[in-house]
Structure 1
């Protein structure tokens, strides 16, 4: 069994994480690697809804503990 590698990109909103992830994905696939791209929260419908709540600038009054738990 081959070993995999987990790469996490972190940074503030608007820092370019998605752009960097897409570039890395393209390069790794070009080099012949099998790649799985994910984001958190993301995926199932409820995760996408949570993501949109967290990214909505209108939700500035959210308690930081609540945001961290989401």
Structure 2
């Protein structure tokens, strides 16, 4: 896993690149990979990693980071 900042954003070399979400087949720019809290408190907290993609038409969606394929 990459370095995570105080807001839960991970550094990733693919951010800002054109990518395809292999799950939805949607394409756009990878804008962020974030660790988001999904349940629990304190040491019992559980987190999910989500990748955010923004299409040329402005629609943004999330997917699993493993679903990201960089386009040339």
For the pair shown, the structure with the greater C-alpha radius of gyration is 1
Which structure has greater strand proportion?
2
TM-score band (shorter)? under 0.3
Which structure has greater helix proportion?
1
TM-score (norm 2): 0.20
